């Protein structure tokens, strides 16, 4: 996303409270790629949610731009295709219809190419007309360009920024010719997720957590991304990228950097991003001996990855990857950060699991480890697995939890979608939750060597381990995680509630 405004403030928000920041009236938001999937599924619904709640600037206008020729009615149909009324939110549901027609009224569409001047000239005239109608020739103009565009090499997905260090640098140089860094808001939508945004407060606002988040107390950290569906319908796109570019190098790496960074001097954008870059620079490129790759195969009526006609025959593309990253600084040296991501697995889940070291033996024979779990989705929660005496006459330790489940604790809170939060931040000129150029560069340095190995650029491409659609991943995954010190203690423990009866039954 880019924003052109002569007086754009360079992201320095002195406190975390951003809702009081002024929005620039009469902003025009241009959505490039307006007929594509990302715009329809994410950008327009997010813009509508902000509009519906009164968060967009006064007199805002939204202009869609794409190659598809269509009249306004067709554009409105596509713009609002994925916008749904939420009946559970009684207040917003009441005004939904009126707001939806208001949203269409502030929207318009221009069709044009991306590689010729014609369409863009038409777009400029359209913007000037809109702006002149509202405020004469008054300046500065405030225009936000939301680029929901695919990179030139891939027709259907805009997500990874480049394919490796070199191509990312090329894209960066091309963009920099047009937009200064302080006008650029590089989206990684994970940074807009509520739990990722909470990590700074959890870590640095709680003395007890801050004190133990280091190599003296922590055995290992797992960052897990699981999806229960395969690449159905977009195997062609996916094959060019693979799971590591699709979610690890970007989303999970951003999660890791926020989790592992040192305390920033302030909550201002540059202070936060400086710390993220610093911690990323302590991570050496991933070693291929620390990597496990997988590819799903058919089970029952579920197709395997290679059964998709758009996937090249015999593709080695990983749909699952587990890898270990090492953060070589005084806080984390020797603590493995195990990153796991996969498609077509047994559940839908994104979580961070910080596993503590064993309690010293002596009085306990076998006691479970403490674990701090940050569940990013579904249903945000933070819980700490903690040992406690089972109530009753005997002295037996059982695993219990300190539980902060958002739905129970923040019953009335409406948690914004990641894209809503990010668009609002950009409108306010706050860069904190956007990826800075140097962050992206370091992240690619960490991943490029293994990506080239997987792409077969260093000899034959490695063979991913097959795993069944709907399973927990390749059979070797538990052995892999335990090699890096992770102890799985799920057998007699079910979160969120374990009754005394359950525990007793489990230990019979």
Closest separation between CB of residue 414 and ligand BG6, Å? 17
Answer yes or no: are the C-beta atoms of 322 and 481 closer than 8 Å: yes
Report yes or no: 206 and 472 within 8 Å, Cβ to Cβ: no
> What span, in angstroms and rounded, lies between the C-alpha atoms of 436 and 432?
9
Binding status of residue 420 toward ligand BG6 by CB under 6 A? no
Binding to ligand BG6 in span 318-357, by CB under 6 A: 350
251 is catalytic: yes
Q: Which is nearer to ligand BG6, 24 or 43 (CB)?
A: 43
Q: What residues contact 434, with CB distance under 8 A and at least 6 apart?
A: 1, 184, 185, 186, 187, 188, 191, 269, 422, 425, 426
DSSP state of 362: S
Burial 216-245 (b: 16+ CB within 10 A, else e): eebbbbbbbbbbeebbeeebbbbbbbbbbb
**Which residue has the CB atom at the shortest distance from ligand BG6?**
159
Q: Does 496 sit behind a cis peptide bond, omega within 30 degrees of 0 on the bond before it?
A: yes
Q: Does 29 bind ligand BG6 (CB under 6 A)?
A: no
Total binding residues toward ligand BG6, as defined by CB under 6 A: 6
Q: How far apart are CA 400 and CA 365, in angstroms?
A: 18
CA–centroid distance for 121 within its chain:
35
Nearest-approach distance from CB 318 to ligand BG6, in angstroms: 13
Tokens of 95: 């005004």
Strand ranges inside 390-476, DSSP E: 397-405, 465-468
Smallest gap from Cβ 45 to ligand BG6, in A, equals 13
Least distance from ligand BG6 to the Cβ atom of residue 356, Å: 27
Peptide bond connecting 140 to the previous residue in cis, omega within 30 degrees of 0: yes
Q: Of the two residues 126 and 189, which places its CB atom closer to ligand BG6 in the complex?
A: 189
- Beta carbon nearer to ligand BG6, 31 or 252: 252
Considering beta carbons, is residue 28 or 321 the nearer one to ligand BG6? 321
Shortest Cβ distance from residue 61 to ligand BG6 (Å)? 28
Complex with ligand BG6: residue 79 or 246, whichever CB lies closer: 246
For ligand BG6, give the closer residue by CB, 183 or 188: 188
Chain positions 349 to 408 lying near ligand BG6, rule: CB under 6 A, are: 350
- 200, 284, 370, 448 from 209: Cα distances, Å: 11, 26, 12, 33
Q: Both tokens of residue 277?
A: 């870059």
* Beta carbon of residue 189, minimum distance to ligand BG6 (angstroms, whole number): 6
CB nearer to ligand BG6: give 63 or 244: 244
1 binds ligand BG6 (CB under 6 A): no
The footprint of ligand BG6 on residues 169-208 (CB under 6 A) is 189
Omega before 378 cis (within 30°)? yes
Given 247, 323, 426, 435, the residue binding ligand BG6 (CB under 6 A): 247
From the list 505, 422, 473, 117, the residue with the least C-alpha distance to 295 is 473
Measured from the CB of residue 159, what is the shortest distance to ligand BG6 in angstroms? 4
**Under 8 Å between Cβ of 339 and 223:** yes
Specify which residues 325 forms β-bridges with: 337
159 near ligand BG6 (CB under 6 A): yes
- 246 part of the interface to ligand BG6, by CB under 6 A: yes
Among 251, 316, 431, 452, the active-site one is 251
For 391-487, strand residue ranges (E) read: 397-405, 465-468
Minimum CB distance to ligand BG6 smaller for 11 or for 192: 192
Q: How far is the CB of 419 from ligand BG6 (least distance, A)?
A: 9
Per the listing, tokens 């709907």 go with 470
Catalytic sites, residue numbers = 251
Question: Which residues lie near ligand BG6 (CB under 6 A)?
Answer: 159, 189, 227, 246-247, 350
């Amino acid at each position: 996303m880019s924003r052109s405004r002569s007086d754009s403030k360079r992201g320095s928000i002195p406190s975390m409270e951003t809702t009081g920041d002024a929005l620039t009236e009469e902003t025009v938001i241009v959505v490039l790629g307006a007929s594509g999937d990302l715009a329809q599924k994410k950008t327009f619904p997010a813009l509508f949610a902000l509009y519906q709640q009164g968060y967009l600037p006064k007199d805002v206008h939204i202009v869609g731009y794409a190659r598809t020729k269509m009249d306004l009615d067709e554009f409105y149909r596509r713009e609002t295709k994925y916008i749904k009324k939420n009946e559970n939110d009684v207040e917003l549901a009441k005004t939904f219809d009126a707001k939806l027609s208001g949203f269409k009224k502030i929207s318009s569409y221009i069709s044009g190419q991306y590689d010729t001047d014609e369409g863009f000239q038409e777009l400029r005239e359209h913007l000037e007309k809109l702006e002149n109608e509202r405020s004469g020739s008054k300046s500065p103009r405030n225009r936000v360009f939301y680029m929901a565009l695919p990179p030139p090499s891939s027709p259907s997905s805009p997500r990874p920024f480049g394919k490796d260090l070199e191509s990312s640098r090329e894209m960066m140089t091309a963009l920099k010719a047009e937009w200064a860094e302080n006008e650029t808001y590089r989206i990684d939508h994970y940074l807009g997720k509520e739990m990722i945004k909470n990590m700074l407060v959890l870590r640095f606002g709680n003395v007890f957590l801050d004190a133990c988040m280091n190599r003296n107390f922590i055995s290992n950290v797992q960052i897990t991304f699981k999806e229960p569906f395969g690449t159905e319908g977009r195997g062609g796109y996916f094959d060019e990228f693979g799971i590591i570019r699709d979610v690890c190098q970007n989303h999970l790496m951003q999660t890791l950097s926020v989790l592992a960074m040192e305390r920033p001097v302030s909550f201002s954008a540059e202070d936060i991003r400086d710390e993220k870059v610093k911690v990323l620079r302590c991570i050496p490129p991933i070693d291929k001996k620390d990597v496990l790759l997988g590819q799903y195969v058919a089970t029952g009526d579920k197709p395997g990855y290679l059964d998709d006609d758009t996937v090249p025959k015999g593709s080695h593309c990983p749909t699952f990857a587990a890898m270990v990253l090492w953060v070589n600084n005084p806080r984390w040296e020797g603590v493995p950060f195990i990153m796991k991501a996969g498609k077509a697995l047994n559940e839908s889940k994104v979580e961070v699991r910080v596993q503590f070291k064993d309690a010293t033996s002596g009085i306990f024979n076998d006691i479970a480890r403490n674990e701090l779990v940050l569940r990013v989705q579904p249903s945000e929660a933070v819980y700490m697995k903690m040992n406690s005496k089972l109530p009753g006459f005997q002295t037996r330790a059982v695993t219990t939890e300190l539980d902060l489940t958002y739905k129970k604790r923040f019953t009335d809170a409406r948690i914004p979608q990641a894209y809503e939060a990010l668009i609002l931040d950009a409108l306010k000129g706050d860069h904190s939750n956007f990826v800075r150029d140097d962050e992206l560069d370091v992240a690619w340095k960490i991943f490029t060597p293994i990506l080239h190995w997987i792409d077969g650029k260093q000899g034959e491409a490695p063979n991913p381990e097959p795993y069944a659609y709907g399973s927990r991943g390749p059979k070797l995954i538990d052995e892999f995680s335990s090699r890096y010190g992770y102890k799985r203690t799920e057998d007699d423990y079910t979160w969120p509630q374990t009754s005394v009866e359950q525990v007793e039954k489990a230990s019979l």
